[in-house]
Amino acid sequence: MKKLVNYSKILLKIIIFLMKLFILVTPIIVVHQCYYCEQIFDSKESLYDHVEIHSDTERNREISERQKAKRRAN
């Protein structure tokens, strides 16, 4: 019984160590999402370049109507 307890403690320490190691090596992914069309970008610069597409007022109206309809559906 004593050996079983020792092995379980060692196993638990190994698991905790591996979890900490995994957290350290896992990259943090930051994404930027367009407010208008919900498209995802990997950098703010890409998002800013994309947002210029939505400068057309008629297109903005379409997108906002779609978003309102989507919210109503939920």
Give the whole-number percent of the chain exceeding pLDDT 90.
1
Predicted confidence at residue 55, as pLDDT, reads 75
* 38 conformational bin, left if phi > 0, alpha if psi -120 to 50, beta if neither: left
Query: Within 13 Å, how many C-alpha atoms sit on residue 32's CB side?
Result: 11
**Torsion sign over Cα 36, 39, 40, 43:** negative
Q: Is the pTM of this model over 0.85?
A: no
pLDDT tier at 3, thresholds 50, 70, 90: low
